[in-house]
Chains A and B, each alone.
Chain A
Amino acid sequence: MGIVDLTSMGESQVKLRNEINERLSRLQDEISDYCYQCAKCTSGCEAHKLLELEPHKIVALLKRGLIDEMINSDVIWTCMSCFKCRERCPQKVAPVEILFALKNMAVASGKQIPGNYTAMLQSVLSIGLIQDVKSITTRDNKTKSRSDLDLPEISKPTDSTKFQMILSKLAVEKV
């Protein structure tokens, strides 16, 4: 028969919802239907404190199949991928994985991604890291490198062409 969101006149996008749920199943997480909205995820969400991400609401919208609303929103890009929500969910649902799926869908549908993300992506493609290794300044105003602190060197891709090829292959196949 049908369920309509009267504010946006949006209807349930059943196919996309099932796609995301299948992805969750492949990752051995529970499908969103099991979520009973306790909001433990949001209680501990690092991004919520700064950027108003509400993982439980993401799950609620997914259950209702309102996918477009989410992939059109910047809020999905605020997840810091700390994985606490996945660790702590009493119903074994993983909001963080849902957010990954939504971000992938956003990219696949040609949505504009936030600027910082593009810069990070560029950096990964060129040096293999989201930002280059930097030195730090100590409290007594001295500059130290990793080797000064006896930390191991961070390895970078040796063959950047091959690395970029692997990355694009992954992006095409998603996860």
Chain B
Amino acid sequence: MSNKIGFFVCHCGINISSTVDIKELMEYAKTLDGVVISKDYKYMCSDVGANLIKDSIKKHNLDSVVIACCSPRMHEHTFRGVVEAGGVNAFNLEIANIREQCSWAHENKNLATEKAKALVRGAVAKAKLLESLETSKIKVTPKALVIGGGIAGIQAALDIAEEGHKVYLVEKSPSIGGRMAQLDKTFPTLDCSSCILTPKMMEVANHPNIELLSYSEVIGIEGSIGNYNVKVKKKARFVDMDKCTGCGDCMVACRLKDRISSEFDEGIGKRSAIYMPFPQAVPLKCTIDAENCLLLTRGKCGTGPLCVEACDADAIDFKQKDEEVELNVGVIVVATGYDLLDPTSLHEYGYSRSDDVITTLEMERLISSSGPTTGEIIRPSNGEKPKSITYVLCVGSRDETECTWCCRIGCMSALKHVYLLKEKLGEDIEINICYTDIRSFGKGYEEFYRKIRGMKTNFFRGRPSEVRKSGDHLTIDIFDTTTNKLFEIKTDLVVLAPALVSRADATDFTRILRISQSIDGFFLEAHPKLRPIDTFTGGVFIAGCCQSPKDIQDSVAQASGAAARAANILSKKELEAEPLISYVDEDLCSGCSTCLSVCAYNAIELVKDGDKSQAKVNEALCMGCGLCVVTCPSGAMQQHGYKDKQLRPMIEETV
């Protein structure tokens, strides 16, 4: 019980003081039972304000503090530190939110002042009943899990590993490398994509602190910041990783050679049932595609599987089964990347009707010298060289019927393609770009855009309504707003720049990770400006396109940021546990287990004591969300700092 409460009110510049009469509020607070001093300051969160609180605690021997200011989300943490430094337990602090919940929401000064008084009255009533709490410590498992082996995941894994911590890098597909491995060159510097990526992939493979789990999926996560228990499914490759030399003889021998659409080549190239996605794959090992392999699907492959015959290393093992492994880590970095919108949904552009309508990523595979045409640009319909190529930008992007957001890479990829195509097909090849706005915002991007404007490129400002087949060609009508004219473009090849969307399995994944999605489907950051890498789940960070579309530069920067945030935690031996957590009043708990069913953190278990069972809270796992407290039918579940007996007087005084 507190008897000597100090009241402090902040003007917040004029944010509060213009709507709430500070003097009147101070005088009023003095009349409340238990309040011994009442003070104000222009910015209570400044050093001067903090010293005012600290000095007052000492001078008046305060045992509890009430601060009327902004939301506790803003400065509760700051003020806890201040009262602790003043000599009062950090949890003997109550904040009356008179900014977000009062001054910002109202205009009438008299009424706002009355509401502020009510909020302060309630806060003082609760402050009298506050109890000191001690923060317990959690040991940190000094290991990290990085999910996704694209450039963001690779960068995060390398950065954390360089800090000296063990990293598990889990990649769903047979090789790391992600989208960047599919690209030929990168904008705006035209670096060869694989030339700058493969050294990093090799570094991952050889780093003593990194354990790579390729062809594996995270299927379950338990625990909390500092101590996560992760279940990973290692899918059967049907190839012994220790024996396979990556020679590729099996791929050539396979009966289904050049019969299966290659995911890596975006369906433009074909592969075998046993395959390596690309020549620089890491790990450089073969994988059998269980969904297509004749032996695995039909139980019979001619007179016997040819891959087994071809493999000198005797590495093929059809008896392999999926394996489950458990990993213990302290932090998790999620870098699961993006999908391209399937342009079939915009049927007016004819993606599914004509082979000569392709996506920018498919064009990337055509341009790539390691691609299915070894870099030769052809019309997929007849294998001939195109004389005219037309790009349609913002396909499904900035579109209220598809994706409302900008893909952030479409413009620059198309401009990059112009450069590469002119290099391959000669400067006179006709290239048309239908754009809505050219967004060239990054370093060196605008200069690159200017360079492309000088390369005989036809820019049409407008969005075509449809792509039609006319004879051997494709026809596009486009109204160009720069000339106010309707043009007809006859062209050989149409390249669509589709929107970037969240991964198809993003929603399932948020359930496993207990993180949220924003309305666009991408993973939600804790604050769009100030915590763009954190999630609302402690110790889980997001990097790259799984958070929102971005280019390689931004993905790498965010990945390094995520690694730094992760290393922040890993470098500590112990973390302070959240003290405002739930506990069970054993006299009241009937063991009905309703609380278990609502807990999102698996923090409650039922403990048998003779023939009676009771709920028990695991303090390391409880995040203090309070869901169990409101669910408990008997009132046995209580939360420190928010006990019924503390909240009831507060409510009675306020209303």
Contacting residues of chain B (471-486) with chain A, CB-CB under 8 angstroms: 473, 477, 480, 482-486
Contacting residues of chain A (1-20) with chain B, CB-CB under 8 angstroms: 1-7
On chain B, which size bracket covers the interface? 20 to 34
Considering the chains assembled together, what is the distance between the CA atoms of A63 and B456 in angstroms?
A: 10
The answer, yes or no, to whether A123 is at the interface (CB within 8 Å) is: no
Name the CB-closest residue of A to B430: A1
Contact B487 A1 (CB under 8 A): no
Q: Given A1-B388, A33-B453, is A7 in contact with B486 using a C-beta cutoff of 8 Å?
A: yes
Contact B483 A57 (CB under 8 A): yes
The answer, yes or no, to whether B458 is at the interface (CB within 8 Å) is: yes
Contact B482 A60 (CB under 8 A): yes
Considering the chains assembled together, what is the distance between the CA atoms of A56 and B481 in angstroms?
A: 12
Name the contact of B483 in the complex, choosing from A31, A36, A66 (C-beta under 8 A): A66
Which stretch (B278-286, B489-497, B572-580) binds chain A?
B489-497
Considering the chains assembled together, what is the distance between the CA atoms of A7 and B450 in angstroms?
A: 30
Contact A36 B453 (CB under 8 A): yes
Considering the chains assembled together, what is the distance between the CA atoms of A45 and B457 in angstroms?
A: 28
Q: Given A33-B453, A34-B453, A36-B453, is A3 in contact with B482 using a C-beta cutoff of 8 Å?
A: no
User: Chain A residues near B461 (CB, 8 Å)?
Assistant: 37
Q: Given A7-B485, A37-B482, A57-B483, is A2 in contact with B453 using a C-beta cutoff of 8 Å?
A: no
Best-buried of B430, B486, B487 by chain A (most CB within 10 Å): B487
Contact A64 B454 (CB under 8 A): no
Considering the chains assembled together, what is the distance between the CA atoms of A3 and B488 in angstroms?
A: 6
Least CB distance from B457 to A in Å reads 8
The answer, yes or no, to whether B64 is at the interface (CB within 8 Å) is: no
Contact B473 A4 (CB under 8 A): no
Interface residues of chain A: helix, strand, loop or mixed (majority): mixed
The answer, yes or no, to whether A125 is at the interface (CB within 8 Å) is: no
Least CB distance from A137 to B in Å reads 45
Contact B483 A60 (CB under 8 A): yes
The answer, yes or no, to whether A61 is at the interface (CB within 8 Å) is: yes
User: Chain A residues near B482 (CB, 8 Å)?
Assistant: 37, 56-57, 60, 63
Least CB distance from B547 to A in Å reads 31
Interface readout for A54-98 with B: 1 if CB under 8 Å, 0 if not?
A: 001100110110100000000000000000000000010000000
Name the CB-closest residue of B to A56: B482
Q: Given A6-B477, A57-B483, is A31 in contact with B489 using a C-beta cutoff of 8 Å?
A: no
Name the contact of A5 in the complex, choosing from B456, B457, B487 (C-beta under 8 A): B487
The answer, yes or no, to whether B432 is at the interface (CB within 8 Å) is: yes
Q: Given A33-B453, A36-B453, is A4 in contact with B483 using a C-beta cutoff of 8 Å?
A: no
The answer, yes or no, to whether B648 is at the interface (CB within 8 Å) is: no
Contact A3 B489 (CB under 8 A): yes
On chain A, which size bracket covers the interface? 20 to 34
Contact A1 B453 (CB under 8 A): no
Best-buried of A3, A57, A61 by chain B (most CB within 10 Å): A3
User: Chain A residues near B484 (CB, 8 Å)?
Assistant: 57
Name the CB-closest residue of B to A61: B483
Contact B453 A5 (CB under 8 A): no
Interface readout for B381-400 with A: 1 if CB under 8 Å, 0 if not?
A: 00000011000000000000
User: Chain A residues near B453 (CB, 8 Å)?
Assistant: 33-34, 36
Least CB distance from B619 to A in Å reads 61
Contact A34 B488 (CB under 8 A): no
Contacting residues of chain B (575-630) with chain A, CB-CB under 8 angstroms: none
Interface readout for B459-473 with A: 1 if CB under 8 Å, 0 if not?
A: 101000000000001
User: Chain A residues near B489 (CB, 8 Å)?
Assistant: 1-3
User: Chain B residues near A4 (CB, 8 Å)?
Assistant: 487-488, 490
Name the CB-closest residue of A to B489: A3
Contact B490 A1 (CB under 8 A): yes
Least CB distance from B621 to A in Å reads 56
Contact A1 B387 (CB under 8 A): yes
Considering the chains assembled together, what is the distance between the CA atoms of A6 and B486 in angstroms?
A: 6
Q: Given A1-B387, A7-B485, A61-B483, is A33 in contact with B454 using a C-beta cutoff of 8 Å?
A: yes
Least CB distance from A58 to B in Å reads 10
Contact B483 A3 (CB under 8 A): no
Contact B483 A64 (CB under 8 A): yes
Contact B477 A3 (CB under 8 A): no
User: Chain B residues near A5 (CB, 8 Å)?
Assistant: 485-487
Contact A64 B490 (CB under 8 A): no
User: Chain B residues near A63 (CB, 8 Å)?
Assistant: 458-459, 482
The 10 residue pairs across chains A and B that have the minimum distance between CB atoms: A1-B388, A60-B482, A1-B490, A6-B486, A60-B483, A4-B488, A37-B482, A2-B490, A6-B488, A5-B485
List chain B positions with a Cβ less than 8 A from chain A: 387-388, 430, 432, 438, 450, 453-454, 456-459, 461, 473, 477, 480, 482-492
A-B contact pairs, 21 of them (CB 8 A): A1-B491, A1-B492, A3-B458, A3-B488, A3-B489, A4-B487, A5-B485, A5-B487, A6-B485, A6-B487, A6-B488, A7-B485, A33-B456, A34-B450, A34-B454, A36-B453, A37-B482, A60-B483, A61-B483, A64-B458, A64-B487
Given contacts A1-B430, A34-B454, A36-B438, list 20 more A-B pairs with CB under 8 A.
A1-B387, A1-B492, A2-B388, A3-B487, A3-B488, A3-B489, A4-B487, A4-B490, A5-B485, A5-B486, A6-B477, A6-B487, A31-B454, A33-B454, A34-B453, A36-B453, A60-B480, A61-B483, A64-B487, A66-B485
